[in-house]
A and B are shown apart, each in its own frame.
Chain A
């Protein structure tokens, strides 16, 4: 298989890409179909509304307890894993995480890394980093494998190739996998992928995986999957490197039980996935398989910024199920790539500003009607709409203003003109005498209203005040205002 280099998009071209996506009927159909499918699957898993609400309360409480004790839990997890023979690394930035992983690869003389699914590794663009330094990363999750082959990035955090049709994939496999005739039969395609990746598993020097949950009390990494590629990646190569956002640890292994149930039911509408893979260390004395060397990379990359502020900290409750995107009317229409961020959809809008700064991501929080669907389905009750409003406020705050927990890129959208307009607006509407003058002027000089009205007139007729205000009309009928 040939690995094309990834092409990177900048999240700041969001508006342009969203427009392009909206005008792509094939993409629209792919996402509509997928969203309908995932919404139906999820709701079939929660026939009992009170059980769901109770479980969501529990999920929220478990995640909040974990976050409240995060520093202690991370140290406890580190101690437990270190005692079991795992090397624990701390990375403040994506660059640091990449360097740590490269150093392990270089020390081992490794050239091939087989990857189970890991959004954290997407976030730090590990494949690209290692690829440029002579270490090839092969994605083994079927969706990730397809997306990597196409030189793209995932468009959904749970189903990476959701934007591709089976015909697209048939053509891709025919072009990239030797001796593969075109087929658009899904079973044939999956068996082709399986065959192509089998040797990669056996030959890889390092297996790299993400982590769904970590338990501090037992020092256990809990991996959730259906395909078995995660188990192969963490079992067959001699070295296993797990990478995990630092917020994913919880106090006890038994706390993961309700979270895992919320995750699989919310994500893909399954009561449980095919495999829960619980890893508590490398191969032990006398065992005949499993990695002999194991590492865990704890990634910050902006998470501590969200953590510092009590409201924004709720962002870190996320268990990455993707239900918010599956139910988002914006994501469902523009798809995942338009966002230009590793995490698209509502969760992407609230986490990306911490990872990338508001300069590049300030527009994302505005791509929402605040309909509230994301908050309503979130299994751990993250108040996503409130966080969107908060991020809009931070983006429009004066960059010079001193606040307790400034965000990277505070005031990225700040404009004195805007501020002035809003000040006038609120002034006029809170002082009746000013308002009356404004009303009189607006109706009498309506002919002067500009026909170009910023974003409004791009798709709509210009707004023009009525010739007479309601108060004028009432007065003509001798009715008091």
Chain B
């Protein structure tokens, strides 16, 4: 094993014996920053942009205050026929939604490791609820940082993904998000950027939804007063 490594690196080093001069990377970083430099949209424009871009990707998007959304989501879930909803009751938002749900929607916490209930998750869960860390206005993207309470599969396996994003967490661009959230200082094991429901154009360039991930995605942009 080590031999292959040494031989590969040896060939590279023989061909490129000196690395870029110190400062080359700073120049490059400055060029990238300059490319994305410009006037940032105001808060209202960020929300508009996120909403438009996500709608264009066929997510269902609406705005609501922190007081309004739990009842709205609960009513929609009932209409959609959701029976089992995955959420993290330890989070304030999860608890708020759980409190608003009608009796026919069962709340399911992700409490045991995936391998202990894989087939149940794949076969019986109708929807997953997540709270986005932040959003990207330009492309209509939510940034999800899965954790112990809301693991990666919550936004991936059930056919319906419901995501909450706070209006004041929006970045203008991906460049801003990476810079302002200091991704360079350390990344979680998994960070996921989601821009709509799962889709494919692999058959004759015809767009179809729900290829492997969620077929439906609802996004609630929480504005105004916050918990």
A interface with B by C-beta (< 8 Å): 33-34, 37-38, 54-55, 58, 61-62, 65, 67-72, 74-75, 84, 89-92, 96, 140-143, 146, 159-161, 164-166, 169, 186-187, 189-191, 193-194, 197-199, 201-202, 217-220, 226-229, 231-232, 235-236, 238, 246, 251-255, 257-258, 260-261, 268, 271-284, 286-290, 298, 300, 304, 307-309, 313
Contacts and interface: CB of A to CB of B under 8 A. Distances in A.
Interface in B159-215: 174-175, 178-179, 183-184, 186-206, 208-214
B4 A96 contact: yes
B91 interface: no
A230 to B, nearest CB: 9
A61 B31 contact: yes
Contact of B192 (A92, A159, A160, A277): A277
B152 to A, nearest CB: 5
A72 B8 contact: no
Contacts of A220: 187
Contacts of A169: 203
Residue from A187, A220, A276 having most chain B Cβ neighbours under 10 A: A276
A277 B190 contact: yes
B62 interface: no
Interface residues of B, number: 79
Nearest to A279: B190
6 interchain residue pairs of minimum CB distance: A228-B213, A143-B202, A227-B211, A289-B114, A276-B193, A90-B5
Contacts of B7: 92
B201 A159 contact: yes
Contacts of B212: 140, 194, 197, 201, 227-229, 232
A93 B83 CA distance: 51
Given A62-B28, A231-B192, A74 B9 contact: yes
A280 B202 contact: no
Contact of A274 (B186, B196, B203): B196
B36 to A, nearest CB: 8
Contact of A275 (B4, B146, B193): B193
B103 interface: no
Given A61-B31, A289-B113, 17 more contacts: A65-B20, A84-B189, A159-B205, A166-B203, A166-B204, A189-B203, A194-B212, A217-B184, A228-B214, A229-B211, A235-B156, A235-B190, A254-B29, A279-B189, A288-B114, A290-B189, A307-B11
Contacts of B211: 142, 190, 193-194, 226-229
A253 B203 contact: no
A90 B4 contact: yes
